Structures are given as structure tokens and as C-alpha cells.
């Protein structure tokens, strides 16, 4: 599913037009990103939690030359599915 498919599904399910669905999805995305940038978690009970994980700096190897390279520390977004989400996915229910 891509964003256009998601917009169409949300519009249909919520009985709103596609422009409103797009605005809602964009607002949700912006709110999650803004919270994660602040270092906050976003928890949606029954759905899951969005959080930021920090990867420490480390040494790696260039696969072509075998030379040791330094990999910078970085923050990466993560999503942990909630219990209900996981159960619905496993059972195939909506």
C-alpha cells in the first residue's frame, strides 16, 4: 500500500473526501515526527509505539577494500507493534 492507497482507504472508511484524508494523514505524520525529534515516544494504545533508537558510533569495514572506516553515531526511528495490533495481524482479523 502506498500513500495514495492509504488516503483512499481512510477517506472511504471515515466517510470524508480524499483531500481531508490527505490532510489528516499529513497532520498525523508531522505530529509523530515532531514528537520523535523532541525525543518523545508516541504511544497509540492497541496500535503501537513510535520511538527513537540511538546507534552508537562504531568501526566498520569497507567491503571493497577491507579498510576500517568509522561509522558515526545516529538516531533511527523504530516502531513497536502493540499487543492488539500483533494479535489482529496473527489472527487475520480487521
List the end-to-end C-alpha distance of the chain, in Å, as a whole number.
Answer: 16
Domain count, the chain: 1
What Cα–Cα distance (Å) separates residue 67 from each residue in 46, 71, 92?
Answer: 46, 13, 48
Under the banding of pLDDT at 50, 70 and 90, the label for residue 91 is confident
Domain region containing 37: 3-91
Q: What mean pLDDT is predicted for residues 5-13?
A: 97
CA atoms within 13 A on the CB side of 92: 0
Measuring CA to CA, which residue among 46, 51, 45, 43 is closest to residue 89? 46
The model's pLDDT over 17-68, given as tens digits with 9 standing for 90+, comes to: 999 999 999 999 999 999 999 999 999 999 999 999 999 999 999 999 999 9
Entry pTM:
0.77
Given this model, what pLDDT does residue 94 score? Answer: 64
Q: What mean pLDDT is predicted for residues 6-26?
A: 97
Quick check: 92 pLDDT over 90?
Answer: no
Domain at 23, CATH number? 4.10.520.10
Q: Which residues contact 29 (CB under 8 A, 6 or more apart)?
A: none
Given this model, what pLDDT does residue 78 score? Answer: 96
Amino acid at each position: 500500500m502506498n500513500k495514495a492507497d492509504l488516503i483512499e482507504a481512510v477517506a472511504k472508511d471515515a466517510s470524508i473526501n480524499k483531500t481531508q484524508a490527505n490532510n489528516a494523514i499529513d497532520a498525523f505524520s508531522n505530529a509523530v515526527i515532531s514528537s520523535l525529534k523532541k525525543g518523545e515516544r508516541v504511544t497509540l494504545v492497541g496500535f503501537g509505539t513510535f520511538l527513537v533508537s540511538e546507534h552508537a558510533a562504531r568501526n566498520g569495514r569497507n567491503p571493497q577494500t577491507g579498510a576500517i572506516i568509522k561509522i558515526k553515531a545516529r538516531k533511527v526511528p523504530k516502531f513497536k507493534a502493540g499487543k492488539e495490533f500483533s494479535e489482529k495481524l496473527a489472527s487475520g482479523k480487521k
